[in-house]
Structure 1
Amino acid sequence: MVTGTRADVALRAAEAGADLATESFRGELAVETKSQKIDVVTQADRDAQTRVTEVLREGFPGEPIIGEEDETRNSVPDDGPAWIIDPIDGTTNFVRGIQVWTTSVAATVDGGPVAGATVCPSLGDTFVLDSGNAFRNGERISVSDRTDPEAFVVVPTLWWSFDRREEYAAACRGIVERFGDMRRFGSAQFELALCASGAVDAVVTSVRGHPWDTIVGVGLIEAAGGTVTDIHGDPWRHDSQGVVASNGAAHDVVLEAARLPETVVR
């Protein structure tokens, strides 16, 4: 039995997961590593995902759920509905007591975002995608209206592994040579939400992102009037190579910077 719209349920689930994770924030944590020394997971991640899943199953029983901490990860279906969970996006921040982390829940239909929520409990911000509109704390948001790249603040997001650090350096060089300033926050969903709200002007990576790191944020930016493509300039999908998101005013310049890491591996 459906109980609420997809946006309602996404928000309810994200808030429930964030509340549970907050109980462990800045407490004693058992930290495990995954694929890299800086790629960490805690019991709080797993517990928050379980709580989010419970709320989603209450709201939309029987629909597929894909979470970052699933032992068997499924791909986002290109047909029909699905839910995508990142219980703690920014776990490295979380374990170090840094307040920039989120719980994010996306609702997709035929592979694309239709609703979602990104809750930033330690910062007091909640971003919601609902009916083609983007909101922060209940107020409509929009991307920035800046047009001069030299006034842009741009974020290199996601992470390049140790064997790809030359690409990471190239990405940073592409940003500092073209734009006014650079920021990095350690939570892709938060960074994308900042772009949707106009706080930063672009977010870029040449890395193929996981859907739980990107889908809600991409939906927010598009709903807020921005542009999101892959590194080739084609429309972004959950399985695209790279994420290039901007306010749309100088997307060609943003794309140019995002493509620079490709020159390192050719």
Structure 2
Amino acid sequence: MSEATHRAAVAERAARAGGVVAEEAFRGDLTIEAKESPTDVVSNADREAQQQVVATIAQEFPTATVVCEEDAPPVGAEGIEVAESVPGSGPAWVIDPIDGTANFVREIGFWATSVAAVVDGEPVAGASAMPATNDIYTAGPESVSRNDEPMAVSERDDLAEFAIGTTGRWSTSDPTTPTAIVREVSERFGDSRRFGCIQGLLALVAAGGMDGAIMPDPPNAWDSLAGVHLVRRAGGRATTLSGDRFTDGDENLIVSNDTRHDAVLDAARAALLDLE
């Protein structure tokens, strides 16, 4: 087994394991805390799922570097190094124990446990487990699949048939940006949807259910890297607003099935550049 294949297998195993822990807590009694806003929340399930993900990775990579959304330190994994950001060189693991926590705590079943294996700042494998829908999306060096079946982005090229996801932070104090994006998408494409789970949306683009997504805010690594790898391996495209290849730390993220990426970019630019 190659090193990349090994990392892909561990990413899938860790996402599944964390997803099991999260699913056990789903629609149960939760301890919920607000972070930066009343809708930006964390629960005890997030921290417990993250511990499981890290522990699973540590079984195969006991001195791994991990980048995690939650601040809970690893327990029982003394050799693990916790980094605040994705290192530019060497391997690392990027973990979102529950992406879509706002959905999770409202007992809405669209949320994901996502793990990306990164080498020199670039994802080489990604996995998003979505236990509430019984789905697992994975991408490694040799395959990209949903539930172990090959998947690919959609082949749609008629904009009237496109479904575009709008995602990222929604600020009630400054609703201008999301309002502009929804307006442009609604006017240019057949459908606009907002799911409340970035990794889940990226997985849907990779599997062909959605045709693109616009994320205007700088995405965190744990919100984006696993899903971006899924999209690219499935034949899609992920760029910045300028059309450059998206990498960790960029200001925004635009993804599509790559048949009409220019049209998705045009919509995003019309919404965002007009606000500057």
Alignment length, in residue pairs? 264
Report the alpha carbon displacement of residue 23 of structure 1 after superposing the two structures with TM.
1.2
Q: Quick check: 1:80 aligned with 2:90?
A: yes
Could you say which residue in structure 2 is the equivalent of 1:100?
Answer: 110
Q: Aligned equivalents of 2:174 and 2:202: distance in 1?
A: 23
Give the direction of change, closer, same or farther, for the CA distance of 1:212–1:221 in structure 2 (3 Å limit).
same
Report the alpha carbon displacement of residue 172 of structure 1 after superposing the two structures with TM.
0.6
Report the alpha carbon displacement of residue 133 of structure 1 after superposing the two structures with TM.
2.9
Report the alpha carbon displacement of residue 132 of structure 1 after superposing the two structures with TM.
5.0
Indicate conservation of the 8 Å contact 2:66/2:83, yes or no.
no
Deviations 1:86-140 (A, max 9, x none): 0000101111110101100100011111012100001000000111531100011
Counterpart AA for 1:24: A
Give the direction of change, closer, same or farther, for the CA distance of 1:30–1:81 in structure 2 (3 Å limit).
same
Could you say which residue in structure 2 is the equivalent of 1:43?
Answer: 44
Among 174, 179, 182, the residue aligned to 2:189: 179
Could you say which residue in structure 2 is the equivalent of 1:5?
Answer: 6
Could you say which residue in structure 1 is the equivalent of 2:217?
Answer: 207
Q: Quick check: 1:137 aligned with 2:147?
A: yes
Q: Quick check: 1:33 aligned with 2:34?
A: yes
What percent of counterpart residues are identical? 44
Could you say which residue in structure 1 is the equivalent of 2:79?
Answer: none
Indicate conservation of the 8 Å contact 1:6/1:116, yes or no.
no
Q: TM-score normalised to the size of structure 2?
A: 0.92
Could you say which residue in structure 1 is the equivalent of 2:75?
Answer: none
Gaps of 5+ in 1: none
Paired residue secondary structure (2:57): helix
Report the alpha carbon displacement of residue 183 of structure 1 after superposing the two structures with TM.
1.2
Gaps of 5+ in 2: 73-81
Paired residue secondary structure (2:47): helix
Q: Aligned equivalents of 1:180 and 1:132: distance in 2?
A: 34
Q: 59-68 or 192-201: which moved more?
A: 59-68
Could you say which residue in structure 1 is the equivalent of 2:71?
Answer: 70
Indicate conservation of the 8 Å contact 1:171/1:205, yes or no.
no
Indicate conservation of the 8 Å contact 1:85/1:105, yes or no.
yes
For the aligned residue pairs, the C-alpha RMSD in angstroms reads 1.5
Counterpart AA for 2:45: A
Q: Aligned equivalents of 2:274 and 2:266: distance in 1?
A: 14
Q: Aligned equivalents of 2:179 and 2:24: distance in 1?
A: 37
Q: Quick check: 1:15 aligned with 2:16?
A: yes
Report the alpha carbon displacement of residue 35 of structure 1 after superposing the two structures with TM.
0.2
Report the alpha carbon displacement of residue 205 of structure 1 after superposing the two structures with TM.
1.4
Indicate conservation of the 8 Å contact 2:65/2:83, yes or no.
no
Indicate conservation of the 8 Å contact 1:65/1:83, yes or no.
yes
Q: TM-score normalised to the size of structure 1?
A: 0.95
Paired residue secondary structure (1:162): coil
Paired residue secondary structure (2:132): coil
Could you say which residue in structure 2 is the equivalent of 1:154?
Answer: 164
Among 233, 253, 273, the residue aligned to 1:263: 273
Q: Aligned equivalents of 2:61 and 2:269: distance in 1?
A: 40
Counterpart AA for 2:247: R
